[in-house]
Amino acid sequence: MKVTRFCPAKVNLFLEVTGKRPNGYHELATLFAKINLGDTLTVQAVSSPNTSITLRLTGPIGKYLQADNSNLVWKAAQSFLDFFNIHATIDMLLDKHIPTGAGLGGGSSDAAGVLLSLCQIFNKDPHLLLDISAKLGADVPLFMHKETFLKGEGIGEKLTPIQPKGTLPWLLLIYPNTNVSTKGIFGSLKLPSQKETLTNLSKLDRLIGAVTNAVPFYQWKGLLFNRLEECVLPFTPEVKSALHDLQQLQPDGCLMSGSGSTVFTLVETEQAAAELASQLTLGERTCFITTFL
């Protein structure tokens, strides 16, 4: 059986770090939003006496990745087989468009796509794989859910779907063609004070309330926030420059996604996004105009 899936990217409309666990993982409060920028994954699988996994990579980003067992997509396939004690021949084709190290969750989305595709092929319940997905990566459980907007807590694995109402804005994303190491970013983070954390959590509640109550986006875009900007911008000039240039054209509602390196803003229409993009000096940067999923 063959299954083809769209594996969407995500942005973080809000991200605060609320604490640190003894094992070194950081506690988060975030609002994820999936977008219509993504990869296309095709999985073909059949039971067989011996397990065999193959992966082919295409697309503008595929040439930069390894098509072997170091790839998260391959690891996801192997984790599925191990969990259900299945032997199978699995052939995967990943048409890769989401940049890596961009704060867009591309690898996590692809891994979830593999798990969901194999569940469909072998008639398994995807909910059984939520723990396995979290072990593959903190953002993988996000993409196991079908909803577009989800509040994330814990290390990002505690997810609460958010149901938006009203007309949603368009997004203009700028990828500065540089990668940011998530591990390195969290290693340099200084936790905010309890007072500051509580203030920002109140902003997150207000943001979620606005999204779920059809409040026009220009009234809530000022609530967008990312704690990790203070760890990235001083040390990554390409990201700092991209965000600065975007803020020069649109002062409010510009943000870095996740741990970077992509920055984005929200606009009312596709035409407004295109006009804004035309005013940017892209150079080595890549621009994406898209919508929420």
241-264 pLDDT, tens digit per residue, is 999 999 999 988 999 999 989 999
pLDDT in tens, 30-58: 999 999 999 999 999 999 999 999 999 99
The residues carrying an active-site annotation are: 10, 139
pLDDT in tens, 4-16: 999 999 999 999 9
Tally helices (H) and strands (E) across the chain: 11, 11
Domain borders along the chain are 2-161, 164-291
The CATH number assigned to the domain with range 164-291 reads: 3.30.70.890
pLDDT in tens, 143-180: 999 999 999 998 878 999 999 999 999 999 999 999 88
Q: Is the peptide bond before 261 cis (omega within 30 degrees of 0)?
A: yes
| Distance separating alpha carbons of residues 248 and 256, to the nearest angstrom | 15
Q: What is the pLDDT of residue 60?
A: 96
- Prediction pTM value: 0.95
Mean pLDDT value across residues 172-194: 85
Percentage of the chain beyond pLDDT 90 is 86
The CATH number assigned to the domain with range 2-161 reads: 3.30.230.10
Q: What is the band of 74 on the pLDDT scale with cuts at 50, 70, 90?
A: very high
| Distance separating alpha carbons of residues 107 and 283, to the nearest angstrom | 26
Q: How much of the chain is in helix, strand and coil states, percent to nearest 5?
A: 35, 30, 35
Q: What is the pLDDT of residue 185?
A: 76
